[in-house]
Amino acid sequence: MTSTVDFHTHFMPREASAVAVPGCPRLEVESETCGQMYRGDKHYRTIDERTWDAKRRIGDMDANGIALQVISPIPVCYSYEAAAADGLAYARLQNDGIAEVVRSRPDRFAGLAMVPLQDPDAACAELERAVRELGLHGVEIGTVAGGRELDDAALEPFWERCAALNAIVFVHPESAPGFDRLQFMQMVISTAYPTETGIASARLLMTGIFTRHPDLRIVLAHGGGTLPWLLPRLDRIWSIDEKIRAVLPKRPSEVARGFYGDTLTFDADNLALVAKRFGSDHLVVGSDYPFAVMEDPPGAVIATVRSFDDSTRDALRSGNASRLLQR
């Protein structure tokens, strides 16, 4: 079996426990194997050493046939509600920590940065530093930032910079208007995250992100969320709305094949549909390691899709991600 590249994993440097940045999550390391994350005065999550310990991660990777992990920040760390200067300082802390792990074992890890997207200029500058100086492959972002949707005109310089740097953009939701309806975190993870990914990616699609930047490499978490199911409806709206066609000359379902998605669907039928919508060459394994919701072992669902042949399964497990990560 081909060794797997796990594109969707999260990391937080232990060094974050030594600082307190206003408006940003706080880490308290209680022992070598346990830590607590706080958002303001509210407890957010209990984490363990898999979050910050590269050696522990490598042990788990070896046990599960994972050749390489792409590590990105825990989404709550985006801190888009913080003051721009504080968000930038926190992003730099996270990015330096990720880059240190990648430098220590470039054969086992690649990294994605985070940026203070509430300040587009600062976000562009930190993205440039992360890619050019730290050697990271791109950036992980949420679906809303500083009160702006991802298709907001104020963020166009950010998308331009991503395209110019050939940076991967991993879209992973963290919070958005309406999440409070779901009352508790497990409903947010299971329901709000894929719904929000579908809304944000549909907005990007229908407002012409790939028309303006055809070479952008955008990876959608959780199998693209609801977008694969929305595309027939978006096609219908496109067909009856002349204004949308002026922005998006091709049918949405055609243009959507520019997106990548991870395989984190937990279901063969769902993954088969994602492959149909995006193309099997635009899918990469994602596990959500090291959190409880993760697929274990990573990429297990790939073997259950009957329409995939061996070469397709090999491409999903490693070939597509290896190509995506090439400079």
pLDDT in tens, 275-303: 999 999 999 999 999 999 999 999 999 99
In the chain the domains, ranked by start, together with CATH numbers, are 4-324 (3.20.20.140)
pLDDT band at residue 239, thresholds of 50, 70 and 90? very high
What's the average model confidence in pLDDT over 51-70? 97
Structure tokens that stand for 40 in this block:
């303001």
At residue 75, the pLDDT reads: 96
Single-letter residue type at 230: L
Task: Report the side by side order of strands in the sheet with 4-11.
Answer: 4-11, 66-73, 109-113, 138-141, 168-171, 217-220, 260-262, 283-284
Average pLDDT along the chain: 96
Compute the distance between CA of residue 271 and CA of residue 278 in angstroms, rounded to an integer.
10
pLDDT in tens, 174-183: 987 888 887 7
Q: What predicted TM-score, i.e. pTM, was given to this entire model?
A: 0.97
Compute the distance between CA of residue 80 and CA of residue 229 in angstroms, rounded to an integer.
29
Residue 1 pLDDT > 70, yes or no? no
CA angle 96, 100, 101 (to 5 degrees): 125
What's the average model confidence in pLDDT over 107-118? 98
At residue 144, the pLDDT reads: 95
191-197 contacts: CB < 8 A, separation 24 or more?
A: 193/221, 193/222, 193/225, 194/222, 194/223, 194/225, 194/226, 195/225, 195/226, 196/143, 196/225, 197/143, 197/171, 197/172, 197/173, 197/221, 197/222, 197/224, 197/225, 197/226, 197/227
What's the average model confidence in pLDDT over 216-234? 98
Give the range among 35-44, 78-87, 211-220 with minimum mean pLDDT: 35-44
Residue 327 pLDDT > 90, yes or no? no
